[in-house]
Amino acid sequence: MIIHIDLDGVIADFDKARNAHPLSKQSPYKGRPDKLPGIYKDLEPIPGSIEAVKKLLDDQRFEVFILSSAPWDNPDAWTHKRLWVEKYFGKAMRNKLILTKRKDLVIGDYLIDDLPWNGAKEFKGTWIHFGSDAFPDWEAILQKLENP
């Protein structure tokens, strides 16, 4: 089974970084946190996310990719996301990073994403809505994937 996992808000804590960024309430960044300089560089992992993704990576039933959207107006974000994935998952995983604005065009069985935007809601496989009542955390997601 092919599993795509969103980065921001699912593995990496974008909200925490946004709230802590000194420019987050200033123009032109207010309401556009994806444009904040360096916002993606040192995101903290969401609790349990690194261990859960590594568990999926070690499971022979799954082929795992990171499927993320990167802002066009913040090209440093593309580099920072790639470096973040390598930092936490190693060099092999950097080749499994897919950056796109159209997640619905990517082929897979599951998409784990916290938001319906950028085609997540229209994904042709099963969208697992991270942070929802049904899937509030990584424990619930692992339970779903291990016992489909």
> Can you tell me the distance from the alpha carbon of 54 to that of 89, in angstroms, rounded to the nearest whole number?
8
Residue 70, both tokens? 């990167």
3-state secondary structure 61-123: CCEEEEEECCCCCCCHHHHHHHHHHHHHHCHHHHCCEEECCCHHHCCCCEEEECCCCCCCCCC
Q: Point out the residues that are catalytic.
A: 6, 8
